[in-house]
Amino acid sequence: MDLTSLEPVERRSTAEVLADRIREAIMRGTFPPGTQLGEVELAAHLGVSRGPLRESMQRLVAEGLLRSEPHRGLFVRSLDAADVRDVYVARMAVEQAAGLLLIAGDRAAATLRLTLALAAMEAAAGDPLALADADQAFHAELVAASGSPRLHRMAEALLVETRMCLAALQQTAPPAGPLIAEHRALRDAIRDGDAARLTEVLAAHMTDAVDRILAPTAVPEAITVEPALPA
């Protein structure tokens, strides 16, 4: 009997699944910055025991999405101006490294994956929230296509923090057309094997996002979350 065509079943712990659920809720603004997460209430709502929930929340503390306050509990982190800048500096480093790996590797395969992600952005152009999801998916795909699991893990955490930052873009988000054009330029730089162009477009993209996020107030003390717009 030949079993080579069967892929192993993915086994995920309850704590992993719960961490994904809470991470998604933070990203979506269901749990805005500063929200206290009560272990008893969450466990009852999710229908799970407190053990795996506690483990999942400690994972998110390690990722920097939650903060632990002695004798008070766990809270969703608030992001200030320095955090915003740092998130995008880190994203620049991760995505540039991933892009250079793509250029050095199978550019045709990477271009196909990014073209599909770009098409999803174009299809979502009329819906800001759908466009935000497609935007994030494009950047996640860029890093995932590099084949580096460590870059992928870092990018996942950074993209959640990005969506937390983007609340400040409600009044300053770019139109869909220029946003999609920026992503098309990233795709084209990888397709053409142009490392200098990739770095130039990516740096401009990240710098513009930081400028727009911080534009409403010179140095916001904390950023609260509404449904996020893309960057």
As given in the structure block, the two tokens for residue 161 are 């923090």
Task: Convert 77-108 to b/e letters by CB count within 10 Å (16 or more is b).
Answer: bbbebebbbebbebbbebbbbbbebbbeeeee
pLDDT for residue 220 is more than 50: no
Q: Which of 111-115, 157-161, 170-174 has the highest mean pLDDT?
A: 111-115
Distance CA 205, CA 85 (A): 13
Position 8 scores a pLDDT of 54
Which has the higher per-residue pLDDT, 27 or 149? Answer: 149
In sequence order, which ranges of 124-194 are alpha helices (DSSP H)?
Answer: 128-144, 149-165, 176-191
Mean per-residue pLDDT, 124-150? 92
Q: Where are the beta strands (DSSP E) in the chain?
A: 36-37, 66-69, 73-76
Q: Which of the pair, 212 or 87, is modelled with greater confidence?
A: 87
Separation between Cα atoms, residue 154 and residue 13, nearest integer Å:
21
What does pLDDT average to over the chain?
Answer: 85
pLDDT for the residue 79: 82
pLDDT of residue 3: 55
- The least confident of 43-47, 145-149, 161-165 is 161-165
Q: How far apart are CA 104 and CA 98, in angstroms?
A: 10
Q: Which of 106-115, 119-128, 168-177, 222-231 shows the lowest per-residue confidence on average (mean pLDDT)?
A: 222-231
d(CA 70, CA 204): 41
Strand order in the sheet with 36-37: 36-37, 73-76, 66-69
Percent of the chain with pLDDT over 90: 48
The set of residues, in sequence order, having a beta carbon less than 8 Å from that of 216 and lying 6+ positions away, is: 168, 171, 172
Question: Which pLDDT band, with edges at 50, 70 and 90, does 207 fall under?
Answer: very high
Residue 161 to residue 221: CA distance in whole angstroms: 16
Distance CA 35, CA 129 (A): 22
As a whole number of angstroms, the distance between CA 103 and CA 192 comes to 8
**Alpha carbon 135 to chain centroid, angstroms:** 9
| Nearest alpha-carbon partner for 88 in 197, 196, 192, 169 | 169
158 pLDDT more than 80: yes
- Residue 173's pLDDT is what? 64
Judged against a pLDDT cut of 80, whether residue 95 lies above it is answered with yes
Domains of the chain from N-terminus onward: 14-76 (1.10.10.10), 81-214 (1.20.120.530)
What pLDDT was estimated at residue 216? 60
Distance CA 162, CA 51 (A): 29
Q: Is the pLDDT of residue 119 over 60?
A: yes
